[in-house]
Amino acid sequence: MARHAQSRAPRTRLSRRSKAVSGLALSTLIGTALWAWPASGDDHNSGTDAKSTMSTTASGPDTPRTPASAPKTAPNAAPNAPAARPVPGAARPIPGLSDAARKRIPADSRQVLVVTGQDLDSFKSQVVLYTREEGSDDWEPGPTWSAHNAARGWTDDHRYGDLRSPIGVYSLTDAGGLLPAPEGTKLPYDRNNSFVADGTGVEGEPLAGAFDYVIAINYNREPGTSPLDQQRPLGAAKGGGVWLHVDHDGPTQGCISLKPRVMRELLRTLDPDLHPVIVMGPADY
């Protein structure tokens, strides 16, 4: 991705405010996408490739996922029988994650955005926001949204320019965009004219508006700063600038892209007091 432009305008912070399908059948999340190199995944700044031109601006990646234990169900269910109902009182974990990925979700997190790719090399993914009540281990799923990830799929060893999204569990602490924050936004929000992506993707789709709204994914970045911040704690070779941002109808360089209305909904919903994180990777991560 191109490198993020440095923030010129002062950061504006808005006020903070303040389970999942169980049984033996776990569904795999799948999404839709086209191929493109433009605006996402590795420092959006300035850079072009043979098939696309973009005036770079911002995006970045991090760690792998962890699965969860299967819910308790009635024993000896017939192979083709309907999914058994969970034992009363049993916790309902987030489905489709490995135990390792589940263990990486912080104990105090009550909002988990799960991004599931079709497979290791696919740029198609789906996104579901899971939430839980305080003191409860039951995760409740929200709607399923289609999304794009990086053009070459996923990796657990992300490198600058590899066109793969980083697998992992990362916190979500900061947001921003070219447009003003939607009313009700809870994450700190940097409204800044530097959130601009020009040019087109490899399929010819325009990049304009891709950074109208962004949420920084805390891969190789300093939490508590603008998404435009250029600090790379793991070094420049590990990439950076991996964001959730507005979809431009094509795959990204490392980011996760969603429709504008979904980005607005996430900005109104994600709450720092609930310690939101994103779990991202291919199916069965």
Q: Are strands 277-282 and 189-191 parallel, antiparallel or unpaired?
A: unpaired
Q: Is residue 129 part of a domain?
A: yes
pLDDT for position 202: 57
Question: Do 156 and 166 touch, CB atoms closer than 8 A?
Answer: yes
The more confidently predicted of residues 182 and 199 is: 182
Q: Is residue 78 part of a domain?
A: no
Per-residue pLDDT tens for 183-233? Answer: 999 999 999 999 998 777 657 778 899 999 999 999 999 999 999 999 999
Cα–Cα distance, 254 to 203 (Å, whole number)? 17
Phi, psi (degrees; rounded to nearest 5) at 181? -60, 135
pLDDT higher than threshold 90 for residue 164:
yes
**Domain limits at 260?**
99-282
pLDDT for position 284: 78
Q: Is residue 147 part of a domain?
A: yes
What's the CATH code of the domain at 206? 2.40.440.10
DSSP code of residue 65: P
SS3 100: helix
- How many domains is the chain partitioned into structurally? 1
Q: Is residue 39 part of a domain?
A: no
Per-residue pLDDT tens for 253-266? Answer: 999 999 999 999 99
For tokens 């740029």, what's the residue?
123
Q: Is residue 116 part of a domain?
A: yes
Question: Do 43 and 57 touch, CB atoms closer than 8 A?
Answer: no
pLDDT higher than threshold 80 for residue 133:
yes
pLDDT over 70 for what percent of the chain? 68
Question: Do 56 and 243 touch, CB atoms closer than 8 A?
Answer: no
Q: Is residue 42 part of a domain?
A: no
Q: Are strands 175-177 and 214-216 parallel, antiparallel or unpaired?
A: antiparallel
Of 48, 251, 38, 227, nearest in space to 154 by CA: 251
Per-residue pLDDT tens for 51-64? Answer: 333 333 333 333 22
Q: Is residue 204 part of a domain?
A: yes
Q: Are strands 165-166 and 154-155 parallel, antiparallel or unpaired?
A: parallel
Q: Is residue 47 part of a domain?
A: no
pLDDT for position 50: 28
pLDDT higher than threshold 70 for residue 114:
yes
What tokens appear for 14 in the block?
């808005």
